[in-house]
Amino acid sequence: MNLQHHKNTIADKGFSVIDNVFSTEEIEKISEVIRNIDTSKETFRKSEDLFAIRQFLKEIPEVKDLIFNENLKTIIKEIFGENYFVVKSIYFDKPEKSNWYVAYHQDLTISVDKKVELENFGPWTTKQNQFAVQPPLNILENIFTIRIHLDDTDEHNGALKVVPKSHAKGIYRPETIDWNVETENICSVEKGGVMIMKPLLLHGSNRTTNGKKRRVIHIEFSDRELPEELNWSERMH
């Protein structure tokens, strides 16, 4: 793995794909843990189009050692740096027949432990007693997201489409995208591979058309401390 190359690509384009981070056997073990969980909890969201587990690493702690294998730990250290910690984790499963479609957007919120009035923090949203807020830009710009793929993913089963370099343009309203200037890139990722992206990268995904499922573990990392009144709700070293 030429990690310096990936580090440069992420800085320049806002994303990079690294194959073979997990072996077939490791992916099977992770999948097995997920298959055997109690899905009735309120942090789990289940519909025909999507199954999602919020606070994934907290809800299923036994998966943590499987996910943070030597390859992933090396990637985090070399690309992000020594001081990064987990601040958010979600498991997504787009089933085979899913019509789930996601329009272009940036990931503009962080998950925190409570709602407090703070300068430059807002707007706020609350879902299932979980608090999310849009923090100042410098916090968003510093986050890295790793998306671990448990299935082969391409344009036919909802691979992410992204606008390269859009992560460096601050808050970017999707309706203002000028396609004469911007390009679209479809991020195919093989099973066992990861996509690393900056949350300000404009991204979306199309409906699944090939009848194949797409399961992704989404983990966000930061090295920033929040104002003392506030804590990252899923902070984990």
pTM given for the model: 0.94
**In angstroms, how far is CA 43 from the centroid of its own chain?**
17
> Does 230 reside within a domain?
no
Q: Would you state the pLDDT for residue 47?
A: 67
Residues with Cβ within 8 Å of 107's Cβ and at least 6 positions away in sequence, in order, are 140, 145, 199, 200, 220
| Residue 57 belongs to domain with CATH number | 2.60.120.620
CA distance 215 to 101: 15
Q: Would you state the pLDDT for residue 139?
A: 97
CA distance 114 to 133: 10
> Does 127 reside within a domain?
yes
> Does 85 reside within a domain?
yes
Mean pLDDT of 102-122: 96
> Does 162 reside within a domain?
yes
> Does 88 reside within a domain?
yes
In 171-180, which positions are buried (b, 16+ CB within 10 angstroms) versus exposed (e)? ebeeeeeeee
Domain that holds residue 122: 3-222
In contact, 150 and 215? CB cutoff 8 Å: yes
In contact, 118 and 227? CB cutoff 8 Å: yes
Q: Would you state the pLDDT for residue 48?
A: 64
> Does 227 reside within a domain?
no
pLDDT at 44 exceeding the cut of 80:
no
Q: pLDDT category, 38, cuts 50, 70, 90?
A: confident
Dihedral angle sign, alpha carbons of residues 132, 133, 134, 139: negative
pLDDT, tens only, 205-230 = 988 888 888 999 999 999 999 999 99
Q: Would you state the pLDDT for residue 129?
A: 77
Q: Phi and psi (nearest 5°) for 91?
A: -110, 130
Indicate the residue type of 135.
P
Q: How many folded domains does the chain comprise?
A: 1
pLDDT at 193 exceeding the cut of 80:
yes
Give helix then strand counts, H and E, for the chain: 6, 14
Q: Would you state the pLDDT for residue 50?
A: 66
> Does 12 reside within a domain?
yes
Residue among 216, 182, 184 at smallest CA distance from 27: 216
Q: Would you state the pLDDT for residue 237?
A: 78
17 beta partners? 195
> Does 19 reside within a domain?
yes
